[in-house]
Chain A
Amino acid sequence: MATAQTRTLSRVMMAPAVIVLLIWMIVPLVMTLWFSFQNYSLINPMMTGFAGWGNYLYVIGDPSFTQSLVNTLILVCGVLVITIVGGTLLALLLDQPIWGQGILRIIVISPFFVMPPVAALIWKNGFMHPGYGMLGHLWKAFGLQPVDWFNQYPLFSVIVIVAWQWLPFATLILLTALQSLSEEQREAAEMDGANAINRFYYIIMPHMARSITIVILIQTIFLLGIFAEIRVTTGGGPGYASTNIAFLVFRTGILSNDIGAGSAGGVVAVIIANVVAIFLMRAVGKNLDA
């Protein structure tokens, strides 16, 4: 298909989307780049002028940067591992002939509908609070000392909250993929004498590869920018123990009012995201063609 005319039309049709996204991407990015080379602080208006690489050296040289970078990776990978392994197992379970499958699906998907600040508040006050949180009560019931989660295991606690929000997403996509595996394919595999484990490795996993790729892609997009959960619970602390890159930039730029350094951090964040993006897009692009 496609005559010269439809090609022209298709360019016109794509133009609004392409133009707004281009503007959305380029204008702020250029401004961020510009600020990142300036001395620009809202607290100290005397500090102006070209900063050279100063802001970058300041941001990257700070130990908090390395820690935030590591935290970002742990956060993204931790949540991905939990949701994909957990999601696969849960999907396999929900795919069994069980009673109340319809209601179960509704119950399982529910956390996905909960907005991040609410999710964080529930976990923080209702569950992980050492004084009156449910986990505290549970620990006491077993005669244990309640854990002060956000002080003792800040990053782990954030991972738990985020994983709770994204587990339903992974589970339901993987479940849908499982259910699209035709009964015939399974039966054929059974006829060929494959046992449950072989069936999982040779039939089910390859079939799900595409869905898992999509889950990784979508989740990574959102996980790189995790913000509200940290702000509401630990505020990035104690120290920088639960600060990721996104939150570090927020801390530097907005909380400390150092626009120059914040922007430099922003540029670094964009670069990191792009490295991840290129890497992921390659993988997904290949998988989508199939």
Chain B
Amino acid sequence: MNLRGFSTLLRKELLRFWKVSFQTLLAPLVSTLLYLLVFAQVMSGRAEIYPGVSYREFLVPGLAMMAMLQNSFSNTSSSMIQSKVTGNIVFILLTPLSPLEIFAAYVLAAVARGAAVGTCVWLVSLWFFPRWPAHPVELLLFVLAGNLLAAVLGLIAGIWAEKFDQLAAFQNFLIVPLTFLAGVFYSIHSLPPFWRDLSRFNPFLYMIDGFRHGFFGLSDVAPAESLLIVGASAFALSCVALVLLSRGWRLRH
């Protein structure tokens, strides 16, 4: 194991977003807070979804998770596509770094960015809704598993895409709908049966639902089931990403 090689690549990936933290940390924080303010204002009259949790507060974990997923996805995918398009991916491909080391460095950095965005959103939201999470460990597990899944998905998308617009399509037609339809703004119990059943195939739903359970101790799906589904999806996608990296698909021609 080339531990130094791995940690160097991890450091590079962390520096890459840290150096532009205005766009990578502050911008998502601001947009999430805007969502929160606007929706909270518009929907202020709505009934509680869970007893003791106002609709406005209900939004917080969903929005935080959505911001995390989008940011961890975009960290791996944009790093990969930028390196491919500008050609500097060769500096990684010609090193002795193994597929696993490359995978782990890219994904961990993205998880770190997602978690950082999530932490910022949560800290700011404390000012509006001072509440200590019901199950902090569980919450942390969902942060890790959810960000991992999104980061791996971003890595695969970045490897697959050959141009920026392909990546944008991936994001607009897959990631955004999946997050929006994952119950950020509603409980799936409020959906018509068809949509409710369809939603059950969306892994993002379980991340958000499980994460919300970590906050409020209340959820639509049993948290253990959610964690299992998210974890299994993340594991399966990780295997796919590792196979792609080992084969050099779209990287080593």
Is chain B a partner of chain A in the same complex?
A: no
Chain A residues with CB under 8 Å of chain B are none
